[in-house]
Amino acid sequence: MIFLASQSPRRRELLSQIGVSFDVLHVDVPEQRLPAEPALDYVSRVAHEKAGAGLLQVAGRPAARVIGADTEVVLDGEVFGKPADAADASRMLQRLAGRSHQVISVVWLLSAEREARAVCESTVRFASLSSAQVADYVDRGEWRGKAGGYAIQGRAAAFISHLSGSYSAVMGLPLHETAQLLGTLAGRR
């Protein structure tokens, strides 16, 4: 049985998109970057902690496999995370405007016997944005709960002038890499 350790509706939607049958586990893992922790290490650690917390919940279930994922927006070494409020979302979007940033997505798949990790790094370039465009986007509330303050699958798609990497990873779960992990842990690779 496969479990997804995530409350994200986007991750649920994406995993369903590739035909995976799964149950959802609610985990509460602090997403706090350690001092001087490299961005990739931080994203990987959080994803691993989510999967580990989920695995503890289903420890008595034979053949349980737990997916934990984390996705973060990184600009100039700064991990943006989820905005605290509308002003924070506005600040993030203004900093992203007219620039390229990285989106790091890490997926861990854990079972009682094994674990495997996949990393997907994408580059997203935002067009220049006016203050009015940023304000309109923020007013609509789509930024809530989104790393970097935007959702590529929503209205912010109009801000993206170039994407190099995985669209699904920027949404929150790299589907190709996740499918590969599921195949690896099942012994099909």
Catalytic residues: 70
- 5, 90, 96: which is closest to 46 by C-alpha? 5
Give the three-class secondary structure for 143.
coil
Give the three-class secondary structure for 72.
strand
Could you count the other beta carbons within 10 Å of the beta carbon of residue 43?
Answer: 26
Q: What are phi and psi of 49, to 5 degrees?
A: -65, -40
- 108, 21, 29: which is closest to 66 by C-alpha? 108
**94 in Cβ contact with 31 (< 8 Å):** no
Q: Distance between CA 5 and CA 189 in Å, rounded?
A: 24
Could you count the other beta carbons within 10 Å of the beta carbon of residue 135?
Answer: 14
Q: Distance between CA 147 and CA 79 in Å, rounded?
A: 9
**61 in Cβ contact with 39 (< 8 Å):** no
